[in-house]
Amino acid sequence: MTLIKADLKDSEQVTRLFSHLEFNENKLNHQPGSVLGSTALIAGTTVGAGILALPAVTLPSGILPSTFGLIAVWLYALISGLLIAEVTLSAMRQEGRASIGLLGVIEKTLGKSGAQVASGAYLFMHYALLVAYITQGGEILGSAIAKLWGVQNSLPVWVGTTTFTLIFGGIMYVGREKFIEKLNSAFVGIVLVSFLGLLLLAGGQVKSSQFLIQDWSALGSAVSVMCVALFYQNIVPVVVTQLEGDVRKIRQSIFIGSLIPLIMFLAWNAVILASFSPDMVHSTSGGKTVFDPLQILRAGGAGQWLGVLISVFSEFAIATSFIGFVYGLLDIFKDIFLIAQSKVSSRLPLYSLVLFPPMTLGTLNPSIFFSALDYTGTFSISVLGGILPALMTWKQRQEQKNSNSINPPLVPGGKLTLIVMIAVALVLMVRQILLIHTN
What ranges do the domains of the chain cover?
A: 1-32, 34-438
Q: What's the whole-model pTM score?
A: 0.81
- Taking residue 96's Cβ as centre, other Cβ atoms within 10 Å add up to 8
Q: In angstroms, rounded to a whole number, what is the distance separating the alpha carbons of residues 277 and 290? A: 16
Q: Buried b vs exposed e over 161-190: b needs ≥16 C-beta within 10 Å? A: bbbbbeebbeebbeeeeeeeeebbeebbeb
Q: Give the per-residue pLDDT at 320.
A: 85
The CATH T-level fold of domain 34-438 is Amino acid/polyamine transporter I (1.20.1740)
Q: In angstroms, rounded to a whole number, what is the distance separating the alpha carbons of residues 234 and 380? A: 12
CA dihedral over 12, 15, 17, 22, signed as positive or negative: negative
Regions in the chain scoring below 70 on pLDDT: 1-33, 97-98, 150-154, 277-291, 296-304, 335-346, 403-406, 439
Q: Which residues contact 249 (CB under 8 A, 6 or more apart)?
A: 15, 33, 35, 38, 243
